Amino acid sequence: MNDLIPLMVIIPIIAAILLNLFNKNNSTVKILSFVVAIVLPIIPLLANYGTYYFGGHAPLTDYGTFLSLFPNSILNTLHIGITYSYGSMQQILIFFLFIIAFLAILTTIGERKKISGTYMFLMFMGLASVVAMLLSDDIFHLYIFFEIVIIAQVGIVLASNHKEKYETAMKYMILGSIGGPMLLTGIGFLLALVGSVNITDIVHVVKNGLINSYSPIFLLSFGLIFFGWLYSVGLPPFHTIKSDMYSKATPSGSALLQTLSVIIFISIGLAIFRIYNGISYVGTFIIFFSLAAMILSISMALTETDFRRIIGFLAVGELGYLGIGFGIGTKLSLTAALFQGLNEIIITALLFIGFGTTLYLSKTSEINKLGGLIENNPKTGVMVLIGGFALAGVPPLNGFQSKVMLIQSALDKGFPELAIIMILISIVTFMTFIKIFHSIYLKPKPKDLIIEDNKIPKSTTFTMGVLIIMCIVLGLMPSLVVNGFNAFIGGLI
């Protein structure tokens, strides 16, 4: 069933095009997006692990008759066409990605009377792009989809009602005009040096010493690709604009934006790790920028008064944990990083959608103007509280499991300082969350606060319920996903 592998990209793209065509027909857009969103999570469960060669261009090793033409040659293993690799890591992440996308789409349908086909187009295009990034073994192919997902992210922000959305989107695009080309230039240097854009081929060439790992061009390609990665995921100096993007989108849009960012983080991060693992200081660079993201984001989150911005900063700060896992570079740390990435997708979706209900009822996101919402909204309040506990790493929720693994991996590698910082940041994250939770739900209600008599849509409550179940199940039974991640990383190192 390897033919199902490209369908994980093709189906969302076709759905996106159709939704854009039926833009004006509200009910068609709703039905089509719902049906596609519910079908998508089934595909990764049915697909077999393996590789898919576009155009049937398999390496020569797959055709025994050709092997005699180039005996013992590197040409036999070279990948001629675009290759998709599908393993346990891709299966887990794509499955959960499709589930989160389904929940985000369900929430959007529930909260809006009229659904824009163009908005759904952007959601599905973003989804298809990150799935392609996860599957692709071709770094140029990865770059193409990276650019598409950036445009989709900007579009998702533009679809909100926020008055500053155009300014933020424009700033993101301007900064992208620095980050994107740098990434492409880095890939260009790599191509010039190795003669291939297939990651497995590049790794093969580097590991067999066919190029000098410390040659200026190879090092420069690392610097440029690394810089592009910082832009794509929102690590410093891009953390301010990334959190700004999250705060300007609709709640379900923000949930999807963060999901897309985490998947970009993992796919480009793994490519960097595989190609440049031989350079001794790569881990140091990743750890430095991850620590900066954690420290700067948490300190900014503490001093903000807009809860959407606070969650945005917390989401960016949490990416630092993933980075530390990649930077430490051991089997345990990489497994923990992937697990943390998955947890972050679930938890931040829960928080964006949960706190989004406050915006839905009060039309303000300024915590100084809010208060007493626990009276109007007790169920949601409790659900958000559980989400906050998971974010801060309170047992027995999923965030606790992945953070403990990360701390353990830092201690094993001989970096107790990293372990201490991760614990400190978790404590401060908890404090920040409690601050916004108190301000929104527990503080006495301000006299001038008008709460609309709208009921929270059932789809939103359902979404939050499913996300909480995921947090609890993954917290109690982490082996459900950790074994899959571990097997994938085992094949990588």
Partner 1 sequence: MSDTYSKISDSVNKFKNKLKKDQNTGDNVTSAMAAELTIISTVLISAIMLRHLNIILTVLIILGLGLYLSTNTPIIGKIRREQNDSLDRMTFYVILTLAILVTTIYWGIIN
Considering beta carbons, is residue 300 or 468 the nearer one to partner 1? Answer: 300
In the numeric block, which tokens belong to residue 336? 């923990």
11 phi and psi angles, rounded to 5 deg: -60, -50
Minimum distance from residue 321 beta carbon to partner 1 (Å):
14
Compute the Cα dihedral for 64, 67, 73, 78 and give only its sign. Answer: negative
Distances in Å between the alpha carbon of 375 and those of 158, 378, 382, 441, 455? 33, 6, 12, 8, 13
- Helix%, strand%, coil% for the chain, nearest 5: 75, 5, 20
Minimum distance from residue 301 beta carbon to partner 1 (Å):
8
Considering beta carbons, is residue 241 or 451 the nearer one to partner 1? Answer: 241
Minimum distance from residue 408 beta carbon to partner 1 (Å):
18
Contact set with partner 1 (CB under 8 A) = 168, 171, 174-175, 178-179, 182, 214, 216, 219-220, 222-224, 226-227, 230-231, 236-241, 244, 281, 285, 291, 294-296, 298-300, 302-303, 305, 368, 415, 417-418, 420-421, 424-425, 428, 431-432, 435, 439
Considering beta carbons, is residue 22 or 189 the nearer one to partner 1? Answer: 189
Considering beta carbons, is residue 222 or 265 the nearer one to partner 1? Answer: 222
Minimum distance from residue 218 beta carbon to partner 1 (Å):
10
Minimum distance from residue 405 beta carbon to partner 1 (Å):
20
Considering beta carbons, is residue 188 or 457 the nearer one to partner 1? Answer: 188
Minimum distance from residue 363 beta carbon to partner 1 (Å):
19
| Distance separating alpha carbons of residues 482 and 94, to the nearest angstrom | 15
Considering beta carbons, is residue 297 or 362 the nearer one to partner 1? Answer: 297
Contacts of 300 (CB under 8 A, 6+ apart): 239, 240, 243, 313
Task: Report how far apart the first and last C-alpha atoms of the chain are (Å, whole number).
Answer: 27
Provide DSSP, 52-85: EEGGG---GGG-HHHHTTSTT-GGGT---S-EEE
Minimum distance from residue 171 beta carbon to partner 1 (Å):
5
Minimum distance from residue 146 beta carbon to partner 1 (Å):
17
Number of C-beta neighbours around residue 469 at 10 A: 11
Q: Which amino acid is at 61?
A: T
Distances in Å between the alpha carbon of 134 and those of 47, 143, 144? 15, 12, 13
Nearest to 36 by CA among 58, 60, 66, 7: 7
Considering beta carbons, is residue 247 or 398 the nearer one to partner 1? Answer: 247
Considering beta carbons, is residue 25 or 368 the nearer one to partner 1? Answer: 368
